[in-house]
Amino acid sequence: MGYRREDYEKVNALLAERRAAAESAAAGRLKALYAKLPEVEEIDKELRRTAAKIADVVIDKSGDPKVKIAKIQAENLALQARREEILKRAGYPADYTEPRYTCEKCHDTGFVGTKECVCRRRALILSGYEGSGIGELLKTQTFETFSPAYNSGSETIARAYSVMKSYAEGFTGSGDANLLLIGGTGLGKTHLSTAAAGVIIERGFDVKYETAQNMFSEFERWQFYRREGDEDPTSRYFDCDLLIIDDLGCELQRQFASSCLLNLLNTRAQYGRSMIISTNLNAEELRRRYDDRITSRLFGGFSVLLFEGRDVRAEKLRGK
């Protein structure tokens, strides 16, 4: 599926705005320069007549066209050199009237030839960060900043780190495994989920990250309080390439939330769209809280990663 349509629209609009601003500023500099140095305007008028001169050569069958075109080219080079000399004498750089694009590689078009420019790619990544729901966390919670030293003896956390890093680097957006992260607070579930999201977004996929409580509240608002003409904010939970739900079990225990969760599990499984779910509840607590239809899908359709060890947050606070 790739980035959201909104991401592409946002980035394309940003590039168009940058391009227009650069060209408008260049036009303003050119107008001011003409007022100060009229000779430059006369040279530019002559240079703009080049295409018409070449067309006249093609139409006129007399004489050698190659010789005539070579003469036009020589005259153009002389005019350009004269223009540059005038600008230099007046204290301006030779490219003073050229647009100053944000990206000199693609001139803010987003493409170098038919290849996507790195500036457009980067803008899409940043837009993906903003749309993921964890834009700020992605700046600090990466695989590189994960601190396994606090739980150096925990085989489960070492395995979770390895599995999630491989998962993110190999994510395809179609038929990837689902992951269920089980463990107490402060063991790195959120950190590793965020790190995985960052890698997957950078690889060009649409990721939505939300806490269970916020997600079910949004479903409830849409179901019971929407107004005519409102756009469905819950559709992305179904459509994104990867949905990450944090803190499942912290939401209010209502039948409505369970129905939404079951629908999400079924719909995303039907279309081969992956999920990562983290919870502080153990397996028995999950079975007590949710009915068999949900727990059978969680334990049957997800690979379980256990997080066992010391509370990293508490360790860090003690260290400070």
pLDDT tens digits, one per residue of 197-247: 999 999 989 999 999 999 999 999 999 988 887 888 899 899 999 999 999
Phi first, then psi: give them for residue 248, nearest 5 degrees: -60, 135
Measure the CA–CA gap between 284 and 267, rounded to whole angstroms: 25
SS3 state at 241: coil
Q: Give dist(CA 202, CA 199) in Å, integer.
A: 5
State the pLDDT confidence band at 118, using cuts at 50, 70 and 90. Answer: confident
Residue 307 lies in a domain: yes
Query: Contact, 238 vs 267, CB < 8 A?
Result: yes
CA-wise closest residue to 260 among 245, 280, 241: 245
Domain count, the chain: 2
- The domain boundary residue, chosen from 85, 115, 145: 115
Name the burial class of residue 50, with classes exposed (0-12), middle (13-18) and buried (19+) by CB atoms within 10 angstroms of its CB: middle
State the CATH number of the domain containing residue 193: 3.40.50.300
Which residue would you say has higher pLDDT here, 131 or 47? 47
Q: Which of 57, 85, 115 is the last residue in one of the domains?
A: 115
Name the pairing type of β-strands 111-112 and 242-248: unpaired
pTM for this predicted structure: 0.74
Number of neighbouring beta carbons within 10 Å of residue 221: 13
Report d(CA 35, CA 237) in Å as an integer: 58
| Residues ≥6 apart with Cβ < 8 Å to 66 | none
**Structural domain of 19:** 5-115
User: Percent of the chain having pLDDT more than 70?
Assistant: 94
Average pLDDT, the chain: 90
83 and 158 housed in the same domain: no
Asked if 138 and 76 sit in the same domain, the reply is: no
Return the residue matching tokens 């837009």: 127
Q: How far is CA 283 from CA 14, 244, 263, in A?
A: 47, 19, 21
Residue 32 has pLDDT above 70, yes or no: yes
Residues 160 and 305 in one domain: yes
Cα dihedral 259, 262, 266, 269 sign:
positive
pLDDT score for 246? 95
Does any domain span residue 123? Answer: no
Same domain, 183 and 284: yes
Q: Do the strands 178-183 and 111-112 form a parallel or antiparallel pair, or are they unpaired?
A: unpaired
**Hey, what amino acid is at 65?**
P
**Does one domain contain both 108 and 138?**
no
Characterize 99-127 residue by residue with b for buried, 16 or more Cβ atoms within 10 angstroms of its Cβ, and e for exposed.
Answer: bebebeebbbbbeeeeeebebbeebbbbb
Paired with 207 in beta bridges are 242
Q: Is residue 238 part of a domain?
A: yes
Verify that 90 and 137 share a domain, yes or no: no
Q: Give the phi and the psi of residue 302 in degrees, each rounded to 5.
A: -125, 145
Domain-terminating residue out of 115, 143, 178 = 115
Q: How far apart are CA 240 and CA 273, in angstroms?
A: 8
